[in-house]
Structure 1
Amino acid sequence: MSKTAIILGATGSTGTELLKLLLADDRYEKVKLFSRNSVNVSHPKVKEYLIDLFKLEDYAADFTADVVFCCIGTTKAKTPDENTYHKIDYGIPVAAARLAMVNNIPSFIVISAVGVSKDSRFFYNRTKAEMQEAVLAQHIDNTYILQPSLILASRADNRLGEKIGAAVMTLLNPLLWGNLAKYRSIKASTIAKAMVWLDNNSYDKQIITSDKIVQLGA
């Protein structure tokens, strides 16, 4: 059966890789993109909805599919205001999960981050943890939360600090074993492959750490 997929965050590093995979995959007949900016991709599968993502509920009638891939996320550097940060990293994924539940979409796959905790002293980690809890509370049949470590990708807006961090993590990766393996950096393309795999296979865990994402993305 041909599927319809929704991508939130298709202009980001992982969303871009995911879109490429879905367009090349015959299992997917239509790909709906809900975003603020166009991906500038002309393809018969693609239907774009250029909207205010903070008002996602206004587009409930169009939010129908077989799977939602949520690749939404920002950083403290890009979004220093905590209120706006919370609206992006918590508000958008949770609104999408609620719409998926109401519209009987059976699969919801969302990107979180490694090391999140509601008890963390870091606002970023607390926000992601709250998002995970709210998404799981929707009880969508096939819910998967991916917790990647540092995501490696070619970005036009890469800052010097991000480039240095990526270089350092690449050197450290071989030293991270056992319980530390989940802190290895990971390619955006690997995360995208894992997301597609999860949509088409059964997996026994809902929360998937970076080391397991690498295995699924292989």
Structure 2
Amino acid sequence: MDHRVAIVAGGTGLVGGELVQELLIDPSWDKIYLLVRKPLEWTHAKLELVLTDWEKPLEFPSDITDAFCVLGTTIGKAGSKENFKKVDLEYPIRFAKSCKEKGVKSFFIVTALGADPNSFVFYNQVKGEVESEISKLGFGTLGIFRPSLLEGDRKEFRLGEKIGSKLAFLINPLLLGPLKKYRSIHAKTVAKSMLNLAWSGKTGKHIVESDKIQVLGSSSARANLDSIL
């Protein structure tokens, strides 16, 4: 594909921030639209901000080829299960439907390891529901990424994740074979895996578990995509 234009929802979060930076340095993409609530403190020649109120109908250009959804919060930060579902279920579905209406062919979303609409765990249930609803929209390419515990530099302090990160450092080497997908993973690796799948041009639905994200997000992945996907 000669002309590629990306749009990112959630580009100021942990994975989203890494994703935007990777898009900006990757020559495969000519322009990046970023949905934001308020202007950023920096600019880039390839970046165009789209000021967005998620409580209103979404408006953005129609020249987009690839959409990336990295919206997400925690129940603690959201303040309630209802607000959590708004950010992690309602907004992504609204974004995906708007992309479909605009003719976007490829859609990529980060959910979570264990995503299952029938899960007894509320968090995993919501992640499974958003996967199910977006899968019904019929994108030519749909990439669903299910990372384990995310590593990276967050803007806000999260005690539980700090503790989890310390434990992961000790436990990761012990997780072998089918347990490798439970190893923690860096946000930059998740971002690179999304771009590598988008870059591949492969059609169809691809569910990428955390252990495969680790491989797909490596620097050598583009030379070995057929063996990875």
TM norm structure 2: 0.89
2-side partners of 1:62 and 1:190: how far apart? Answer: 28
5 Å-filtered alignment, 1:86-125, equals 86-125=85-124
Aligned residues: 216
1-side partners of 2:102 and 2:72: how far apart? Answer: 23
Matched with 2:167 is 168
After TM superposition, give the deviation of residue 203 of structure 1 in Å.
Answer: 7.2
| Structure 1 residues 204 and 63: CA distance shift in structure 2, 3 A | closer
After TM superposition, give the deviation of residue 163 of structure 1 in Å.
Answer: 0.8
Could you say what the CA RMSD is over the residues aligned between the two structures, in angstroms?
1.6
Matched with 1:208 is 208
The amino acid that maps onto 2:199 is N
The amino acid that maps onto 1:210 is S
Q: Secondary structure at the match of 2:30?
A: strand
The amino acid that maps onto 1:14 is V
Structure 1 segments unaligned to the other structure (5+ residues): none
2-side partners of 1:39 and 1:163: how far apart? Answer: 27
Identity %: 36
| Structure 1 residues 130 and 64: CA distance shift in structure 2, 3 A | farther
| Structure 1 residues 204 and 104: CA distance shift in structure 2, 3 A | closer
| Structure 1 residues 177 and 141: CA distance shift in structure 2, 3 A | same
Q: Is the 8 A contact 1:136 1:143 kept in 2?
A: yes
Q: Is the 8 A contact 2:8 2:67 kept in 1?
A: yes
| Structure 1 residues 216 and 39: CA distance shift in structure 2, 3 A | farther
TM norm structure 1: 0.93
Q: Secondary structure at the match of 2:120?
A: coil
Q: Secondary structure at the match of 2:77?
A: coil
Q: Is the 8 A contact 2:141 2:205 kept in 1?
A: no
Matched with 2:227 is none
After TM superposition, give the deviation of residue 160 of structure 1 in Å.
Answer: 2.4
Q: Is the 8 A contact 1:116 1:126 kept in 2?
A: yes
| Structure 1 residues 138 and 75: CA distance shift in structure 2, 3 A | same
Q: Secondary structure at the match of 1:155?
A: coil
| Structure 1 residues 84 and 124: CA distance shift in structure 2, 3 A | same
1:124-163 C-alpha deviation (Å, 9 max, x unpaired): 1111110000010001000010000011011131222221
Structure 2 segments unaligned to the other structure (5+ residues): 219-229
